[in-house]
Amino acid sequence: MSAVIGWLAEQPLLVLMLIMALGFFVGRIRIGSFSLGVAAVLFVGLIISALFTHYGHPIQQLHIVWVMGLTLFRLHHWSSVRLVLLPGSPNRGLGT
């Protein structure tokens, strides 16, 4: 088990894809009328991160994922500001 985790620790993009795939499938599991949905990706990521840390191989942060997250947040933030505050925009948030 430690050898597999050691190899996966060197492949952070593969680990990220595995977390998303496992989280997607875990999120589709229904128990009665309850399912985790996309929140399962978060829980699977936490579990895998704890497992890797336990075996002495903390998961490396992918720089591209960090940059893309900041970029998407910035784009979303500025598009909201443009729609609400700028004069001449089609919907200024004032009901006009």
Structure confidence by residue, pLDDT tens digits, 4-29: 888 888 888 888 889 999 999 999 99
46 and 69 in one domain?
Answer: no
Q: Is residue 12 within 8 Å of residue 62, measured between CB atoms?
A: yes
Answering whether pTM is above 0.75, one says no
Q: Answer yes or no: do 7 and 53 share one domain.
A: yes
If asked whether residues 49 and 78 sit together in one domain, one would say: no
How many degrees, rounded to 5, is the angle at CA 51 between CA 62 and CA 58? 35
Are 41 and 67 within 8 A, CB to CB?
Answer: no
Q: For the chain, what is the domain count?
A: 2
At residue 75 the predicted structure's pLDDT band, cuts being 50, 70 and 90, is: low
Q: Within this chain, do residues 51 and 35 fall inside the same structural domain, yes or no?
A: yes
Half-sphere exposure of 15 (CA within 13 A, CB side): 24
DSSP state of 29: -
